[in-house]
Amino acid sequence: MRQTFRNLILISVFFFSFQSVIHARNGQVIKVLSFDEFEPMLYLETDSVYVVNFWATWCAPCVREIPAFEKLNEVYESKKVKVLLVSLDFPNQLESRVIPFVSDMNVQSEVILLDERNPNRWIPLVSEEWTGAIPATVIYSKDFRGFYQREFHFEELEALIQQLIN
């Protein structure tokens, strides 16, 4: 009986873990996380600078700025700058929109899809300043936290990052 229960738990853990990780055609892994699973990523206390961008495939300014975040990821990866792209697309659009977008754009930054149905609960937990509009970006380190509800260009991102890594 105990072995059967243990096997059932292992199968359940495997099933739910399998459901939460999807591979895009470019080999990119896209995790599907609840806000509670994602929230610790907003408060890591390491020697890195974290750039967390909230976006969606249906948001034109979001799509325009993705190359800036990708360039930031490429240029500053060796300088302990971590870029995380948080898709706010609906979970049922993962395979039809998010994966093709990530693959077509050859996104190399870490991508997750936030599977959370009640934005009024989690948006103020990201920032009290956030109205819910996207694109939105949190940039933080041990000694700095900034929230930006606007579209970025690479030069603007680089200027912010340069201040934090020097």
- 74-111 pLDDT, tens per residue? 999 999 999 999 999 999 999 999 999 999 999 999 99
Omega of the bond prior to 135 within 30 degrees of 0, cis? Answer: yes
56: three-class secondary structure by DSSP: coil
Tens digits of residue pLDDT in 30-52: 999 999 999 999 999 999 999 99
Indicate the domain borders of the chain.
Answer: 22-165
State residue 19's pLDDT score: 44
Q: Which pLDDT band, with edges at 50, 70 and 90, does 18 fall under?
A: very low
User: CA-CA distance, 49 to 70, in Å (whole number)?
Assistant: 15
In the CATH hierarchy, which fold is given to the domain comprising 22-165? Glutaredoxin (3.40.30)
pLDDT at 24 > cutoff 70: no
State residue 129's pLDDT score: 96
